[in-house]
Structure 1
Amino acid sequence: MTSDTLITRALEAVPYAQTLGAKPIFIGEELTLILPYSADNIGNPVLPALHGGAIGGFMELAAIAELIHSASEEDLSNLPKPIGINIDYLRRGRPVDTYARAAVFKRGSRVVNVRVRAWQEDYDNPIAALHGNFLIPSDG
């Protein structure tokens, strides 16, 4: 089974991913998640601005998707679970498509440290950043 298929199936199993409409895209082997613009994700209609919870949840999904992408197939019996997450909201999320890319910084035997960047039109101008620790399920 390809990594693209595994990630798509995992996202389909997470109800919030379905609510947001998050979808994986690959450029070579690099995984990026896209959050297509939806009026349902607007938190402040006056500005308008994306809801911080939608951005945070989207980045958490990007971290989980990257952990699935970087794991071997036998490691996928359960999804990784967040232990602790910190989010920096850097600028307003405008009503356009949003992208997120995660990187694994340290992998232990049970805990993985992941960082995620979310941006809209320019990768170098992120709207938010996530730093999180995730518990990797084990069979034992």
Structure 2
Amino acid sequence: MNLIDKLMAAKSSNDYSGIIELIPYAKLLGVKMDERDGNPFFTLPFNQANIGNAMLPALHGGAIGGFLENAALLQLMWARESNEIPKTVDFSLDYLRPGKAQDLFAVCDITKQGKRVANVLMTAWQEDRDKPVAVARAHFLLV
């Protein structure tokens, strides 16, 4: 089964675990994906291994960044329905507040998608979507 077939099956069942399996770091982090209101919605379930500052405790910035980058990759795969996984060209991340020791949520917005490059904005939050933990911007090479 090729990637497009896997994406179609995932969309019809709203079970994206088979797609996440294709991205080892997303699998390692425990990224979850489903559809809400016709768009991908991403969750990073709390995991003690993702704590970076045990004194607060707060999520490690690398776990937050990795979660957002993988969410953007998955968003592009979902939108493009291509047999290729996009390649990250650059990634810029702004931390806005500490990520608490709880689940982290994210949505992505593809701001421009050409034949070869796509730009994606990502937002992560916990309790209140209007109080993001981090926002990121990335460019991806569409193979």
What is the rounded CA distance, in whole Å, between the counterparts of 2:79 and 2:108 in structure 1?
11
Moved more, 28-37 or 109-118: 28-37
2:37 equivalent among 22, 28, 35: 28
Question: Does 55-64 or 22-31 show the bigger shift?
Answer: 22-31
- Unaligned 5+ runs, structure 2: 1-7
Choose the corresponding residue for 1:55, options 54, 64, 87: 64
Which 4+ runs in 1 deviate beyond 2 A? 1-5, 7-10
1:113 corresponds to which residue?
119
* 1:16 shift after superposition: 1.3
2:98 is matched by which residue type in structure 1?
R
Q: Secondary structure at the match of 1:96?
A: coil
1:66 to 62, 75, 79: 75
How far apart, CA to CA, are the structure 1 residues paired with 2:38 and 2:135? 22
C-alpha displacement of 1:28: 2.8
3-state secondary structure, aligned to 2:76 = helix
The question of 1:39 aligning with 2:48 is answered: yes
In the other structure, the counterpart of 1:11 is: 20
How many pairs align?
133
What amino acid maps onto 1:16 in structure 2?
Y
TM-score after normalising by structure 2? 0.88
Q: Which residue in the other structure is 1:85 paired with?
A: 91
How far does residue 19 in structure 1 lie from its aligned partner after superposition?
Answer: 1.5
Distance (whole Å) between structure 2 residues aligned to residue 30 and residue 10 of structure 1: 16
Structure 1 stretch displaced more, 123-132 or 9-18? 9-18
The one-letter code of the counterpart of 2:23 is V
The one-letter code of the counterpart of 1:101 is V
- Provide the rounded CA distance (Å) in 1 between the counterparts of 2:24 and 2:79: 22
RMSD over aligned Cα, in angstroms? 1.2
Where does residue 132 of structure 2 map in the other structure?
Answer: 126
